[in-house]
Amino acid sequence: MYAIVNIAGQQMKVAKDQQVYVNRLPNKEGDKVTFDEVLLVDNNGKVSVGAPAVSGASVSAKVVEHLKGDKVIVFKKKRRKGYQTRNGHRQLLTKIAIDGITLGGTKKTAAKKAESKKAEAKVETPKKEATPKAEPKKAAPKKEEKPTQTDDKN
């Protein structure tokens, strides 16, 4: 059984008894944490997909420790200009251990969604009875215009 869950702005695939490094969480070491935004759950081949999250599903975890990630060196250089800068960065991380994945409430499986959409498409809407259309009106005859008199003085 595994789940895809949104933890601290990142989507991660987690399973029971797995340890995961995530962006720093505000909880203290030893605290229990629950993540309610579960996007997908696979329970031995039965896949539950959320829209956007699976309702009632949650992932519980325990904060193991807070630590810093490996150092990343950022080096910038412009050749023939005498410009060089060197900066380092260490990301703040939290190590969590996944305690369990719970499925609560209604399950929405991908197969059931497809069946429900097909069923909705098959439902026929009652057709409106055709009303007799009125005959189009005939255009009024054009008026004959009298030629205007022009004065020809040469």
Cα 106 versus chain centre, distance? 20
26: CB partners within 8 A, 6+ apart: none
Q: For the segment 57-70, what is each residue's pLDDT rounded down to a tens digit? A: 999 999 999 999 99
CA distance 146 to 46: 87
Q: Does the reported pTM lie above 0.75? A: no
Ranges of each domain in the chain: 2-107
Average pLDDT over residues 15-34: 95
pLDDT tens-digit readout, 91-111: 999 999 999 999 875 444 444
Distance CA 154, CA 149 (A): 15
pLDDT exceeds cutoff 90 at 89: yes
Mean pLDDT over 3-9 rounds to: 93
Q: Give the per-residue pLDDT at 109.
A: 42
**For residue 66, what are the contacts with CB-CB under 8 A and spacing of at least 6?**
24, 29, 92, 93, 94, 95
